[in-house]
Structure 1
Amino acid sequence: MQDNKLYFETLHSGYGQYFEIDKVLFEQKTSQWHLSIFENARFGRVMALNGAIQTTEADEFVYHEMLTHVPVLAHGRVKSLLIIGGGDGGMLREVVKHRGIERIVMVEIDGAVVDMCKTWLPNHSAGAYDDPRVELVIADGIDFVASCNERFDVIISDCTDPVGPGEVLFSSDFYAGCKRCLNENGIFVAQNGVPFMQVESLQDTVRRMSTYTRECWFYMAAVPTYIGGAMAFAWATDNPEARKLDLATLEARFNEAGISTRYYTPALHQASFALPKYVEQAIRSAMTVTA
């Protein structure tokens, strides 16, 4: 925070945004992080970490719906699902909407984050932690996937940006561990930043993940809080047909699931895999260079 009334985001060099602070709800400073939760008239409650906006009440539904419903409905028969990160509970809220999923494991490195978000961002989880299918594991995500003997149909990495503590969740070792934990034809997805501002991160993912899966691609959605253009979500699987489903199939699966959404639609799901030319070029370029 730069003063008592404004929060300046400093994620990108030479470019940023600010939020008016109507009321500070929670603030914690340690030698490693500076975490703030405050109220803003337009975005509701906002959580920021080390100069980067993590989530807001107003637009979190875009991010969480796209990271959840795209892989779950593309797979079509998800029985087990793993979330890495996601301590605010928004991802879990969307996952538990799918009644056909029998087992949901969520791995969060810090239990205090979960408790804090239940207190200050209760609308994110909306009671999802009480679902009997959910197992919350307090552990480091990279250690969990390295030692886990269980397999999952979908793995969602709801990680922070690839700087500081979150950097390991973009590493080759992490991707290798996730691949090992996927069932046959399972799907891995992860937030991968805003390509216009963070194209190197996208290319690093291609170089590292494509070693382990038959297909590494991306889909996109515009999340207003994450400035600099549309956000990319990494998509990795050994089943290339999963992202090529026709609209009728997606609509049938969506209707059968009986879930309510504010952003996701089957048509948007299908369209989200159509990438801008500069993003396609960055991906193709990265595929020719090993990590």
Structure 2
Amino acid sequence: MSRDEWLIEEQTPGYRTQWRVRRVLHEEQTPFQHLQLVEMEDFGRALVLDSAVQTTVGDEYIYHEMIAHVPLFTHPNPERVLIIGGGDGGTAREVCRHSSVQKVDMVEIDRAVVEACRRYLPETACGLDHPKVNLVIGDGLAWVAERRGEYDVILVDSSDPVGPAVGLFNRAFYENVYRALKPDGLFVAQVLSPFFHKKLIHDVYQVVASIFPITMPYLTVVPTYPSGLHCFMLGSKRHSPLRQGVRVPSWPTRWYTPAVHRAAFQLPPVVAELLQPTAAPEHAEGPCHAAPTV
């Protein structure tokens, strides 16, 4: 890919997203996936895995603030946090802003992602070197399976459910997440677009709701993600994200606020319908984002 070529994501046979690329900064085939760092015309430097945009300097703060602060402000005193994935470091950066957090275990399977982001995405990768962070290059599935009652909050900051991330979207994994959490723990996972991944959101909700007493999806807007509308799934043993007395940030944020926190759980009817047990959402996933059976 050279200057002024286009990076194209095929979502469905009838829908694609594309960005003009000024230059390719880095490209390699890792043991797990095809890795690129590119500079986009409008969104700046971007991490691309298997031809799917993961994060850009132009809008990364939205995703990272929402995946981190919604669960961490839901829990009254989060001290131990696990991040699965998140090799760009942005989620770790936001987690470490919380003074109550004492230790963050971060398990990323692909060392090449970490090294490339340290070089080309210092805005997010700064989170990788925070003194609270214990960075482990390894399999998040195995890590979670071996833990019992260790974490207040678990954040599943994975890529799309293909390649190395497939195992992060099934019942066995969510059951292990439940066991790895403390008695009042909670977790959040990103579950893609309610327009293009309806079946995935439906299936994940049904499974998580059968394991966690409180299961609530929430939404945000990320311009460079398919459709712009992005969904997270929250599963909690005890604490509701809409409870009274949720703490507020003591530092400046760019997207997250207490009002945004509450509003994120107000689902439009078309999204709420995906949560019904009898719903049969259209399988709209494109070939690069095919969802596995949950």
TM-score, structure 2 as length reference = 0.90
Q: Work out the CA distance in 1 between the residues paired with 2:216 and 2:114.
A: 31
Q: 5+ residue gaps in structure 2?
A: 281-292
Pairwise CA distance, 1:215: 2.0
Q: In the aligned structure 2, how far is the partner of 1:287 from the partner of 1:142? A: 29
The 2-side partners of 1:164 and 1:13 are apart by 21
Larger relative contact order, structure 1 or 2 (CA cutoff 8 Å, min sep 6): 2
TM, length-normalised to structure 1: 0.91
Amino acid at match of 1:16: R
Q: Which moved more, 1:207-216 or 1:168-177?
A: 207-216
Corresponding residue of 2:118:
118
- 1:58 and 1:281 mapped to 2: Cα distance? 32
Q: Give the AA of the match of 2:53.
A: I
Change (3 A) 1:31 1:234: same
Let me know the Cα RMSD of the aligned residues.
2.1
Paired residues for 1:53-72 under 5 Å: 53-72=53-72
What letter matches 2:253 in structure 1?
T
Q: Deviations over 1:78-127 (max 9, x none)?
A: 1111100000000011011111111111011122221111011111123x
Q: What number of residue pairs does the alignment pair up? A: 282
Deviation of 1:286 after TM superposition, in Å, equals: 5.7
Q: Note the 1:74-85 alignment, pairs <5 A.
A: 74-85=74-85
Q: Deviations over 1:7-62 (max 9, x none)?
A: 11124442111111111100113686322111113101011122211111100100
SS of residue paired to 2:224: coil
Q: Which has the higher helix share?
A: 1
Change in Cα spacing, 1:109 to 1:233, as seen in structure 2 (3 Å) is same
| Conservation of the 8 A alpha-carbon contact between 1:162 and 1:201 | no
- The separation in 1 between residues aligned to 2:165 and 2:135, in whole angstroms, is 19
- The whole-number CA distance in structure 2 between the counterparts of 1:134 and 1:109 is 16
Question: What is the CA-CA distance between 1:163 and the residue it aligns to?
Answer: 1.8
Q: What residue number does 1:242 align with?
A: 240
Structure 1: 5+ residue stretches without partners: none
Structure 2 equivalent of residue 190 of structure 1: 189
Partner of 1:156: 155
Asked whether the equivalents of residues 4 and 23 of structure 2 are also in contact (C-alpha less than 8 Å), the reply is no
After superposition, the Cα gap between the structure-2 partners of 1:182 and 1:13, relative to the gap in structure 1 and judged at 3 Å, is farther
Change (3 A) 1:33 1:125: closer
* Pair 1:226 & 2:218 matched: no
Q: Is the 8 A contact 2:156 2:188 kept in 1?
A: yes
User: Which position in structure 1 is the counterpart of 2:263?
Assistant: 271
